Structure 1
Amino acid sequence: MTNNSTTQVSQPLNQILFGPPGTGKTFTTIERAVRAAEPNFSWANRDELKAKYQELIREGRIRFVTFHQSFSYEDFVEGLTAHTDDEKLVYEKRLGIFRQIVRDAKEHQNTEVKNPTNSFSDCWDAFLTEFEDHPEGVQISMKRSKFIITEVDGNTIRFDKNQGDSVNTLSVSTLEAIFNGERRFNGGLKPYYQSLISHLESLGEQLDKKAVKRQNYVLIIDEINRGNISRIFGELITLIEPSKRSGASEALEVTLPLTGDRFSVPDNLYIIGTMNTADRSLAGLDLALRRRFDFVEMPPLPEELKGISIDGIDVDKMLDVINRRITALLDKDHCIGHAYFIHLKDKAEVALTDLAEIFKQKIIPLLQEYFFEDWQRIRWVLNDQSKASANAFIVKDDAINFDELFPGDVQLNSRDRWRLNESAFEQATSYKQIYEVGSAE
């Protein structure tokens, strides 16, 4: 696989890859994330692409989050976290992954020469260096007094006032918001924040100016359909629209309810979501989300398996027939993807045991989930009803002696009980007769 930058198609800012399990959504997400973050990067094979992806992950330019039913606005945007400090319960504001990546993307939204005094990250890094050189603490001057910063622990800055032995705290996230002009602070700690910001700016003046190149950032949201979109995005769902991004003609900015910070989404942040249609169809997706994302269907592609032959079994034909039967019995959202078999292409020698392992570990469990363990319908998908018992993957379980287990006058509902026929997985005929209808003995 080779990426030719001269034939690139521009990536949409918001897109969702959707399809049944095993259709290659994970790999396509990696490919699209790298294309969005580094449009001019080209690769010759999968290993080069994955290496670049991992590099961008380490740099923080690609980040990953999984939505689930308990995932909330506080996890995604901002919230409060509680901890004890000197046996006192302290609440601190915590930035979610979305605010974090938006903040970093804004730092690289434009190509320009930046004055370090305008960059919180540069000034804060300079302060941390100063703090390491002064283990006894860093003294911060105020108009008529001073205070000493004694500890920096994550988001907490501890300091001693000029008089008294009490320990007080400041918040790094609050300090950054005030520094960037996103928040006004009028509480009793205001002079301490102002003095520390003045100190940071004086450190920034000692740094050299630096050229900042525009860089793209990517947020990957796995299983985006599993989350409560209204609850997670809240009022920010409008801000991700391309026309509402900062730098666009109709740019919007909102005030966040918890911190009061001004917030907007830059136009160099790409959002790539994935959704498994076996969990939830597009019809059940949040309308606000559907209007703001481009949807890219990822269907099963049995033709990708053409050429894989194991003891005369045509894997592409077998998967195609399985999926046509599933579509007839359920719908296309519950098909089986080609990615479960694609690694067989890379093997120098493919044995029947490789195919058996895929069926036992992946295909049969998926069918059980799809059909709620309705074994009769699973047999139809695998054409077991037309095979000799020796070649059927699922056969009746006649090993249970009910008279022996339940002696006396016990009325039991008469129903068929089924089991997996382990020996069928070891026979090529069992797989061929999935698609060779009428060939069963």
Structure 2
Amino acid sequence: MSKKLDLHINTILYGPPGTGKTYKLNEYKGMFFTDRGIAVSEKDVLREKVSEYPFWKVLGAVLGVAEKSLTVSEIVDHPIIKARINPANKTKPNNLAWADLQSYADDMSTQLEEKYRRSIKLFHKDEESRWTIADDKKKDLSNIIDQELLDIAFNPILQPVQSSTFKTRYDFITFHQKYSYEDFIEGIKPLLRKEDSEVQSGDLQFELKKGIFYNSCLEALRLVGYDSFDACYKDLPENRVAKFETARSNPALQFALFIDEINRANISAVFGELITLLEDDKRIGSNNEMWLELPYSNEKFCVPGNLFVIGTMNTADRSIALLDIALRRRFEFKALYPEYMEDEWWAPLLQAINQAIYNWKKNPDFFIGHAFFINRPETDRSKILNTKIIPLLYEYCQNNSVTVKSVLSEAGISLKQTGIKENFQIIAE
């Protein structure tokens, strides 16, 4: 049975480098958002398997195992087509199928302009607008598509069933300076593989690509029984309230998005208007549930009440005060500072270094974390100081070697005499 996580639904772990923030995230992933000894459902396994293939290949698999020609509606009704189509896609399934059938059709079957045609002419349409595999491609079909996909299309119910020792209920991302709203929520992105195209403009192809936050929200919805935001939005409010009340009390129905180095991105630019939706009372199933339309897809969207958003922030990179305006009301902050384990050889050394840093900076956000020393023997003392601690102090001191020497000296660390041959480097003994 899943354990209950004793954290606010929006939490940021903050502290100086090396205090175990990312380690904590990994601990949370394994303890609270990983289910072990379970069986993956047929529906989930089928979706996972067919998502690996371009849409045109999935269409080809359906026609490849069919005993007769099929209409577009009959093709779309096949289980692997339903599993492959993203329910968030606003384009009708018939239109998606028709577009790829035309693009990959032989010369007799389509009037599509040549620039939209594909080199693989796989499909054929007869006079009654029914589709089959082109005669000259039937012999090599397993090489063009993939025998495994053909097998799944032939037996979509039994073939994908498999057992799994564990199933995860989380996504993980590390923010960086260039991370954007289009990466996080949704955006129009060019396609590098022509065969995956759903929207075209000349020779350049685009798709509406969902970001990790959107996908995490969708996975959280699926845990409570909704396949899409549209289905959730159209459900009765009292049904949504009941489902998410159950999810809040059942750890097995909770999903998490872990964001490492959350302060490295421009938060207001990445979250956009969705920063408001993170608040407890604005989420799906809450008292002040708030829905909005996403700017690219015009899809109704709200943050599920069973989605944890847990981030880490390195206080030595940027002051926490700079994030207060955007995040303070939405997140709770949990401090992680160095731990001084009395039985470890490095505990007195780490205490002395951090005391010297505090005397200089008057700020614990620049402390050195215990992770630099964990599980390292005392024989590695000089190596840790010279390859980890001293370079970090140089960064703190803006490469002022006098200040670095002062901090090390106050911490009782002996330094070697160096000259031009050692490039005047600071080397701990």
Give me the TM-score of the superposition, normalised by structure 2.
0.59
Mark the CA change 1:9 to 1:91 in structure 2 (over 3 Å): closer, same or farther.
Answer: closer
Contact 1:244 1:250 in 2 (8 A): yes
- 1:9-408 equivalences under 5 Å are 10-37=6-33, 59-83=167-191, 85=194, 88-109=203-224, 119=227, 180=231, 215-302=253-340, 304=341, 306-309=342-345, 315-330=346-361, 331-344=363-376, 350-352=377-379, 354-383=380-409, 391-393=414-416, 395-397=417-419
Contact 2:259 2:310 in 1 (8 A): yes
**Residue identity matched to 1:343:** N
Q: Distance in 2 between matches of 1:334 and 1:275?
A: 13
**Equivalent residue number for residue 66 of structure 2:** none
| Alpha-carbon displacement from aligned partner over 1:126-152 (angstroms, at most 9, x marks no partner) | xxxxxxxxxxxxxxxxxxxxxxxxxxx
Bigger mean CA deviation after superposition, 327-336 or 268-277? 327-336
Contact 2:36 2:166 in 1 (8 A): no
What's the offset of the Cα at 1:261?
A: 0.2
Mark the CA change 1:13 to 1:339 in structure 2 (over 3 Å): closer, same or farther.
Answer: same
Contact 2:294 2:300 in 1 (8 A): yes
RMSD: 3.5
**Structure having the higher Rg:** 1
Q: Percent identity, aligned pairs only? A: 37
Matched, 1:420 2:426: yes
Mark the CA change 1:33 to 1:291 in structure 2 (over 3 Å): closer, same or farther.
Answer: farther
SS of the aligned residue for 2:381 comes to helix
**Residue identity matched to 1:68:** H
| Alpha-carbon displacement from aligned partner over 1:376-398 (angstroms, at most 9, x marks no partner) | 111111117988xxx424x4525
Mark the CA change 1:90 to 1:361 in structure 2 (over 3 Å): closer, same or farther.
Answer: same
Structure with a larger share of its residues in strand: 1
SS of the aligned residue for 2:365 comes to helix
What's the offset of the Cα at 1:69?
A: 1.4
Contact 1:379 1:385 in 2 (8 A): no
What's the offset of the Cα at 1:361?
A: 2.0
Mark the CA change 1:386 to 1:396 in structure 2 (over 3 Å): closer, same or farther.
Answer: farther
SS of the aligned residue for 2:304 comes to coil
SS of the aligned residue for 2:171 comes to strand
| Alpha-carbon displacement from aligned partner over 1:31-57 (angstroms, at most 9, x marks no partner) | 23445436999xxxxxxxxxxxxxx99
Q: Distance in 2 between matches of 1:58 and 1:226?
A: 32
SS of the aligned residue for 2:358 comes to helix
Q: Distance in 2 between matches of 1:213 and 1:335?
A: 35
Q: Distance in 2 between matches of 1:396 and 1:213?
A: 58
What's the offset of the Cα at 1:30?
A: 2.1
Mark the CA change 1:66 to 1:282 in structure 2 (over 3 Å): closer, same or farther.
Answer: same
SS of the aligned residue for 2:375 comes to helix
SS of the aligned residue for 2:205 comes to strand
What's the offset of the Cα at 1:17?
A: 0.4
Q: Structure 1: which 4+ aligned runs deviate by more than 4 Å?
A: 38-41, 84-87, 180-183, 384-387
Q: Distance in 2 between matches of 1:343 and 1:386?
A: 23
Contact 2:353 2:411 in 1 (8 A): no
Contact 1:36 1:270 in 2 (8 A): no
Mark the CA change 1:245 to 1:36 in structure 2 (over 3 Å): closer, same or farther.
Answer: farther
Q: Distance in 2 between matches of 1:181 and 1:301?
A: 45
What's the offset of the Cα at 1:301?
A: 1.6
Q: Distance in 1 between matches of 2:318 and 2:190?
A: 35
**Equivalent residue number for residue 68 of structure 2:** none
SS of the aligned residue for 2:303 comes to coil
What's the offset of the Cα at 1:218?
A: 0.8
Mark the CA change 1:267 to 1:177 in structure 2 (over 3 Å): closer, same or farther.
Answer: closer
Q: Distance in 2 between matches of 1:340 and 1:324?
A: 17
Give me the TM-score of the superposition, normalised by structure 1.
0.57
| Alpha-carbon displacement from aligned partner over 1:318-364 (angstroms, at most 9, x marks no partner) | 111110111121221111001111213xxxxx342x22221222111
What's the offset of the Cα at 1:73?
A: 0.4
**Residue identity matched to 2:222:** E
Q: Distance in 1 between matches of 2:31 and 2:411?
A: 48
Mark the CA change 1:240 to 1:40 in structure 2 (over 3 Å): closer, same or farther.
Answer: farther
